[in-house]
Structures are given as C-alpha cells and as structure tokens.
Chains A and B, each alone.
Chain A
Amino acid sequence: MDRVLQSKINRRLTKDSAMKWLFGAVVAAVLGITFFLFYGIGADGVGRLNLSFFTNFGSRFPEKAGIKAALVGTLALMAVVIPVSMFLGLCSAIYLEEYAKKNKWTAFIEMNISNLAGVPSVVFGLLGLTVFVRALLLGNSILAAGLTMSLLILPIIIVASQEALRSVPDTLREASYGMGATKWQTIIHVILPSATGSILTGSILSFSRAIGETAPLIVLGIPVIVQFLPTGPLSTFTALPMQIYDWAKRPQPEFADAASAGIIVLMVLLITMNGFAIYFRNRSEKKLKS
C-alpha cells in the first residue's frame, strides 16, 4: 500500500519538475528567438553603417542609398506628433481623472478611448487619407502624417497619463486645497509635477510606437525616394520605416543589406527612447517610495 502511494507521489513530483523545465525551456526559446531576431538582422546591416549611409539620400542604386531624408523626416514627424499628442492626451487625462463626473457621457468617452486603442493602424491611415490628406487638403505632408499618428497614439497616452494622475496620493491634493489653492492651481502646481515621471514614461513608449509605425504612412501615400529635406510642416517627406519597407521589398540583396542597416538605426533610436522611459519610471518609483 505504502509503495503504491509512494510511486504515485514520485510520479507526480517527476511530472512537476518536468513541467517546470518545460515552461523554463519555452521562456528560454522566446528569449532565444529575440536574440536570433536581432542577430539575424543586425549581422547583415552592420557593414552598411558608414557615414555616407547617413548623409546620402535614397537612391535607385543600392550602394549609394542612404537615410538622410528618412531620418530627418522621422524627426520632423515627431516634432508634430509630440506636441499635438501630448496636448490632447494630457488635457483628456486631466479632464477624465480630475474633473469628469461619473456619468454616462464620461463612460461613453472612456469606451471610445478603449475602442480607439484597438483600431488597426492601417484603418487610422484610411481616416488620415480621407480627412487630413483629402478633405483638409494637407496632401502627403508632415502635418497630415503627424496628425494621423497623434490620433493613433492618443489612447495610449491618455490611459498612461490617467494612471499617472491616479497614482498621486490624495493627501497631496488635500494639502494643496488646505493652503487655499484652487483646483486648477492644485493640478498645475502639485499634481502634474508629481506625476511627470510616469506621464513621461508612458508618453515616450507611445512616441516610439509612432516612430516605428509604417502602415498609416503607406496608406497616406508618403513617398519613398525623396531627394530633399523637408522645409516646413506642409512639405512632403519620407520616414525611416517607409524607407526600410521600400528597401525590404526590392529583390536585390544589396537593398536587403540597406534595409538591415536602416533597421539597426531605427532600433537604436527606439532602444534609446526605451532607456529614457525606464529611467523616468525608476525615478518616479523612487520618488513615490521616499
């Protein structure tokens, strides 16, 4: 009897430790895939990363093709996206967290935000094409693309900022009211400064999403080979992911190398931004603890 029980227990324990290793192996596999992904792309592109890659415009000849216009275009795009999306996102978050009453209208707005967050990016492209490019006659300009991208990342910024505002302890609000500050003064001088770290973390992550998005730009009709730098918000431009997409589609292997090199530049940009986001997160976590 004892032996039967013992062997049953042993079998269960063996299964337990086997499953532990299996789960661990799956995690290791996922990490391996991540490494493989970066290595597979990075190895081909490193050779193309020289100064002329950054100073040349796009070209039909793979060895001459560079990312000057694309890199400047992406930075110009962000110059529109960051202020527009931050303004819209912060105002919405402040309204929803600090002012909105719990009624149907507020619930409706919140539902809209969660719906908007799930809309595929290519559909935002269709919205931008109809509204900004055609109806408002902005053409395939930096402004049109910037506004489209701002709407795309707006739900992420709102939700992240809402969480940041919510995490500010009520004692700070009460102390501020106790000093005779109005609600708006409290928001501007007390709540926002103490939520800045977490707001920045969420926003930076959403900006990096906007930098990497390609589908909306394609639908907006953003051109690929651009031989000039943008001159203003209404100027045509191209962006890093568009340039990578174009190179990746071409059959010549030399263009694939250029695409790899472009991806390295894009990923370095994104990882740097992620680094900043993590820095701000750690700083704000420390601040709240002390």
Chain B
Amino acid sequence: MTSIKPTEKLRTRDVIAAAKKNEKFGKIIPHLLLAVTSVTVLATFGIIYTLLKETFIFFQEVKITDFIFGTEWAPFSNADQAFGVLPLITGTLKIAGVALLIGVPFGLACAIFLSEYATPKIKKFIKPIIELLAGIPTIVYGFFALTVVTPWLQSFIPQLKLFNALSAGIVVGIMILPMIISLSEDALSAVPASFREGSYALGSTRFETAIKVVFPAAISGIAASIILAASRAVGETMIVSLAAGSTPVFNMDFTGSIQTMTSYIVQVATGDAGYGTTIYYSIYAVGFMLFLFTFLMNRAALYIKTKFREEY
C-alpha cells in the first residue's frame, strides 16, 4: 500500500501515482482473499474425498451389502471377521434416542420459560450458566457419565452394567440441552409480540398463549433445533467412548455395553490396527456413514427452517 507522508510537499503527479498504485493493489486483494476463503471448500471436498477413497478400498474387501445389512460387527475376530454395520447404527440410535428423550422436553421447557415467563433479570442470571454448560468439553461430560451418573443409576437399576447406553445417552441429552434451549428460545423470541397481545386480548392465560399461539408460530425453528441436536448426538464421540463401552450388539437393551459409529473409530485409533488392514479402512467406511447421517440431518434442519418459516 502506498501512502503519502504528510510532511512532503504534495505534487499532483505523486498523488495520482499513489492513487493508481493503491487502485492496482486494491484489485488484487479480493482475489487473494477468495483464495484463502476457498480453504473451506477444499476442507469439505477433502473430507468427502478421503472418506470416499478409503471407503472404496474397504468395499473391495467387504461386500457392500454385507456392510449395510449385516447384523454382526466383529472386526477383531480372527475366525469369523464380520463387518455388518447395523449393530453400530443400533448403538448410535440408542444413544441419540435417550438423548432426545432427555434433551427435548427439558430443553423446550427451559426455552419456553426463558422466552415467555422469565423477567430480564432472571434471564440475565440463567443465560451465562447455559452458555457455561455449552462450553464444557465432551470429555468432561464423559467422565461425569462414568463416575457420577452410572453409579447413581446403579443404585436403583441394579442390573445396569458399568458401561451402558442409558447413562451415556442421558449425559449426551444434557450435552445437547444448551443447543436446544438457545436455538428454540431464539425461534420463540422471534414471534412478534402482537401475537401474544392478540391472544391475551381474547382472554387466554400466559400458558395457553405460549402453547397454542407462540409455540406453533415458532415450530419450524424448534424442529430445526431438535434435528440439529440429534445430529450432534449422533456425532458425539467422547461421552460414548468413555461411558457406553465397546461391544457392538444388535438388540434393544439399554443397560449393557454398546458401540456407536464414533466410538468404533476411537477404539481402532487407540488400538494397534496397522495401516492398510481391512480394519484400518473400515473406520473410513464407518466415518463416511457418520458423515452422511449428520450431513443429511443438518441439511434437513436448514431446509425446514427456511422452507417452513412463517414470515411476519
């Protein structure tokens, strides 16, 4: 960049030359910035490319139908190695199911309280705590699940194993709470005050207004927040690695050890499976499934939010 020192005697010629130089410089800038911005595009394609490439190699060794429809996942078995992904998907769905069962009612109740009932003072007290909850690393939640929640649950569910889907799912539910609360509260707060006033004028109570007027008007944003939270639960890794165990099972038992797609990737990464083995490639195939799941859910959330948004 060229600038003219204020002490110099200004000559028109110099001023024009400096301006021209600046103009030239200004023309390159957007191109440089665009090049840097392309890193995000590169990263997305890098993820898709690496996952697809290694997954392709995996499918040369394992039949794709065996992978998708197989009900047995036994990569470490020497005698009958099996790569049926359904047990991992079942495990993932168990965690996400329990998490939503906890996260959705609690999260929506908090969101309604914050947007419809709380005074600004109470809001100012609660919001930072929710933000704090959102900032806790998932490894901390995982440790909490393993050392606090599981022993507590065991005191009234005696058959609960040390590693189980229930406790990990509950804690994943707590982890997704801040996300549901803040996104749903945004959606509820965006409903214009005139809606509430109209409802009060007709004689509705605050609760009736919240449930029958405000909530339906904000439903697209709320649905999007739930789907996004479900996607977070599906992709959650550390809580399930620490608290849910590593036993790929294909059943509906919530009290025993399970394995999710994410915790399988962690198990292989911490083990000593060599580079180039089928097990090594399998983490990319599982990673690709995981990517696909979360990608579709995130897209769906965005679609619902924009497509069904009511304009006021």
Contact = CB atoms under 8 A, between A and B. Distances in A.
Given A214-B138, A267-B140, A125 B50 contact: no
A120 B130 CA distance: 22
Given A30-B110, A155-B40, A99 B30 contact: yes
Interface string A23-67: 110110111011011001100100000000000000000000000
B56 interface: no
B46 A88 contact: no
A222 to B, nearest CB: 10
Interface string B141-153: 1111011100000
Nearest to B206: A16
A167 interface: no
Nearest to A105: B34
A125 to B, nearest CB: 7
Interface string B236-255: 11100110000000000000
B206 A20 contact: yes
Interface in B16-72: 22-23, 25-26, 29-30, 32-34, 36-41, 43-44, 46-47, 50-51, 54
Contact of B242 (A20, A155, A248): A248
B50 A131 contact: yes
Interface residues of A, number: 85
B265 A122 contact: yes
A235 interface: no
B157 interface: no
A122 B290 contact: yes
B101 interface: no
A126 B294 contact: no
B208 A16 contact: yes
B39 A27 contact: no
Q: Is the interface of B mostly helix, strand, loop or mixed?
A: helix
B215 interface: no
Contacts of B33: 91-92, 94-95, 99
Given A30-B110, A120-B235, A213-B137, A20 B132 contact: no
A15 B22 CA distance: 69
A234 interface: no
A115 B295 contact: yes
B287 A126 contact: yes
A146 interface: no
Interface stretch (A106-114, A168-176, A190-198): A106-114
B50 A122 contact: no
A266 to B, nearest CB: 7
Contact of B287 (A34, A36, A122): A122
Interface in A112-131: 112-116, 118-127, 129-131
A154 B231 CA distance: 19
Given A88-B36, A109-B37, A214-B238, A205 B139 contact: no
A215 B238 contact: yes
A29 B135 CA distance: 19
Contact of A40 (B114, B139, B148): B148
A247 to B, nearest CB: 9
B131 A274 contact: yes
B46 A123 contact: no
B112 interface: yes
Contact of A37 (B37, B144, B228): B144
Nearest to A24: B113
B23 to A, nearest CB: 7
Contacts of A208: 135
Interface residues of B, number: 83
A125 B294 contact: no
A160 interface: no
B93 to A, nearest CB: 15
B207 A248 contact: no
A70 to B, nearest CB: 12
B50 A126 contact: yes
Contacts of B159: none
B129 A31 contact: yes
B133 interface: yes
A134 to B, nearest CB: 8
B298 interface: yes
Interface in B59-92: none
A184 B265 CA distance: 46
A94 to B, nearest CB: 6
Nearest to A187: B29
B23 A182 contact: yes
Count chain A CB atoms within 10 A of each CB in B40, B114, B205, B287 and give the residue with the most: B40
B6 to A, nearest CB: 14
Contacts of A119: 47, 235, 291, 294-295
Contact of B132 (A34, A115, A155): A34
Contacts of B172: none
B304 interface: no
Contacts of A183: 26, 29
Count chain A CB atoms within 10 A of each CB in B105, B131, B136, B297 and give the residue with the most: B136
* Cβ-closest 4 pairs across A and B: A212-B137, A120-B235, A95-B33, A118-B298
Given A218-B270, A274-B135, 11 more contacts: A22-B109, A26-B106, A26-B113, A41-B140, A41-B148, A88-B39, A126-B284, A214-B237, A245-B241, A248-B139, A248-B147
10 contacts: A15-B205, A16-B205, A95-B34, A112-B43, A118-B228, A134-B275, A212-B138, A215-B241, A245-B142, A278-B128
